[in-house]
Amino acid sequence: DSGVTQTPKHLITATGQRVTLRCSPRSGDLSVYWYQQSLDQGLQFLIQYYNGEERAKGNILERFSAQQFPDLHSELNLSSLELGDSALYFCASSVEPGHYGYTFGSGTRLTVV
């Protein structure tokens, strides 16, 4: 157990729907990062939060949004889902931005049918 908790582990939904992925960072970590990993591809950075504020944006679609709450957990909202959104979504956390490495959760596998 890495200390980063992601729920749900698996999600199957239909095109056009909206889902919310949840992440609880490791205790003491203030930064949360979201990544998308499609089959046999690398980690694509989506968005980063630090202590409730957005710090950096990567290749995140306008249909996707995220937030970090006062208790530091984060949610990634994916709307108007398309087949191509099927992927593993990872959350990672660190003490602060750029701190020595990230701790990753075990991911949420999203399947859009």
Partner 1 sequence: GESVGLHLPTLSVQEGDNSIINCAYSNSASDYFIWYKQESGKGPQFIIDIRSNMDKRQGQRVTVLLNKTVKHLSLQIAATQPGDSAVYFCADRTGNQFYFGTGTSLTVIP
User: CB of 52: closest distance to partner 1 in angstroms?
Assistant: 17
Q: Which amino acid is at 60?
A: I
Q: What is the rounded distance in angstroms from the CA atom of residue 88 to the CA atom of residue 69?
A: 22
Size of the site for partner 1 (CB under 8 A): 25
User: CB of 81: closest distance to partner 1 in angstroms?
Assistant: 20
Question: Contact region for partner 1 (CB under 8 A) — 13-21, 22-30, 70-78, 96-104?
Answer: 96-104
Within 8-37, which residues bind partner 1 (CB under 8 A)? 35
Whether residue 8 has a cis bond before it, omega within 30° of 0: yes
Q: What is the rounded distance in angstroms from the CA atom of residue 32 to the CA atom of residue 51?
A: 8
Nearer to partner 1, 13 or 106 (CB): 106
Taking residue 74's Cβ as centre, other Cβ atoms within 10 Å add up to: 25
By the 8 A CB rule, do 7 and 22 touch?
Answer: yes
Which residues here bind partner 1, judged by CB under 8 A? 2, 4, 35, 38, 40-45, 48, 56, 90, 92, 96-98, 100-107
